[in-house]
């Protein structure tokens, strides 16, 4: 049975000055899957997912989301498409002047006409979903690193997106908190049926969350396959890469 492609890269090239970051990148992400992008530091993992949301445009080639060419999509259609996406930033990116609840509410206040009561109810529901139900009135300075990540995830989910992009979601967290974030991402992918694209260095994230994995290096995917085959591969490049990664 043919799988439904929701995101497609076709011969994508992206450079910054003389540095080529992506070169002839081809990739398809299927609707409803959790896809992990791994690779050494500076290989272009974050650059890759920023093309999905239209923050970057390829120098050549094409990035499609739901059949839309992200280089040519009209502004009104781009706004509508972005409303169906959530983005989880590497450092949570909470505004320190707003409470946790106000941070989560921000996308609704900016893009909808919902009333205060309805927004508050929805924010409480999302905070409960990511297992931090009691932080609505807390300021970011009062939250641990793991709690900030969960609040950032609640904000990404507040518009009920169909696609969630994660940029190093467990970076800077200790192993126990990282494991809990990984389990949460897997639960959300399963329960909400969202398409998840996860940039990560962590093998534990692949083991817990991923359906498929791509290893990005030298601007191209040097491996593309299931999480299980990735973790148990005897291919020398993967063995070297996995051997260098802390679990």
pLDDT of residue 113: 83
Nearest to 200 by CA among 188, 216, 223: 216
CA distance 196 to 186: 9
pLDDT of residue 111: 81
Q: Is the dihedral of CA 32, 33, 39, 41 positive or negative?
A: positive
Is 38 strand, coil or helix? Answer: strand
Long-range contacts of 105-110 (CB under 8 A, 24+ apart): 105/158, 106/155, 107/155, 107/158, 107/159, 108/158, 108/159
C-beta atoms surrounding 22 within 10 Å: 25
Low-confidence ranges of the chain (pLDDT < 50): 246-247
- Give the length of the chain: 247
Task: Tell me whether residue 13 is exposed, middle or buried, using C-beta atoms within 10 angstroms of its C-beta: 0 to 12, 13 to 18, 19 or more.
Answer: middle
CA distance 135 to 189: 23
Which positions ≥6 away from 50 have C-beta within 8 Å?
56
pLDDT of residue 246: 45
pLDDT of residue 247: 46
pLDDT of residue 188: 86
Task: Tell me whether residue 98 is exposed, middle or buried, using C-beta atoms within 10 angstroms of its C-beta: 0 to 12, 13 to 18, 19 or more.
Answer: middle
CA distance 7 to 29: 5
- Residues forming a β-bridge with 198: 36, 166
* 212-217 vs 34-38, strand pairing mode: parallel
Which positions ≥6 away from 158 have C-beta within 8 Å?
86, 104, 105, 107, 108, 122, 123, 126
pLDDT of residue 2: 67
Nearest to 208 by CA among 218, 217, 216, 198: 198
pLDDT of residue 201: 84
């Amino acid at each position: 049975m043919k799988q439904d492609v929701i995101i497609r890269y076709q011969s994508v090239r992206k450079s910054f000055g003389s540095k080529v970051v992506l070169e002839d990148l081809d990739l398809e992400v299927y609707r409803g899957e959790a896809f992990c992008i791994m690779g050494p530091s500076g290989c272009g993992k974050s650059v890759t997912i920023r093309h999905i949301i239209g923050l970057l445009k390829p120098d050549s080639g094409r990035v499609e989301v739901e059949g839309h060419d992200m280089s040519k999509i009209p502004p009104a259609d781009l706004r509508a498409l972005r409303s169906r996406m959530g983005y989880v930033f590497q450092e949570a990116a909470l505004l320190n002047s707003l409470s946790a609840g106000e941070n989560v509410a921000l996308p609704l206040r900016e893009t909808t006409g919902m009333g205060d009561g309805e927004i508050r109810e929805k924010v409480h529901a999302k905070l409960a979903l990511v297992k931090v139900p009691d932080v609505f009135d807390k300021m970011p300075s009062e939250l641990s690193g793991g709690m900030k990540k969960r609040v950032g995830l609640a904000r990404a989910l507040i518009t009920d997106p169909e696609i969630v992009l994660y940029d190093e979601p467990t970076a800077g967290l200790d192993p126990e908190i990282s494991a809990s974030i990984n389990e949460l991402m897997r639960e959300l992918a399963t329960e909400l049926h969202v398409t998840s694209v996860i940039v990560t260095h962590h093998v534990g994230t692949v083991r817990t969350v991923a359906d498929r994995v791509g290893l990005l290096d030298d601007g191209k995917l040097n491996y593309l396959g299931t999480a299980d085959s990735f973790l148990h591969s005897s291919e020398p490049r993967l063995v070297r890469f996995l051997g260098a990664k802390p679990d």
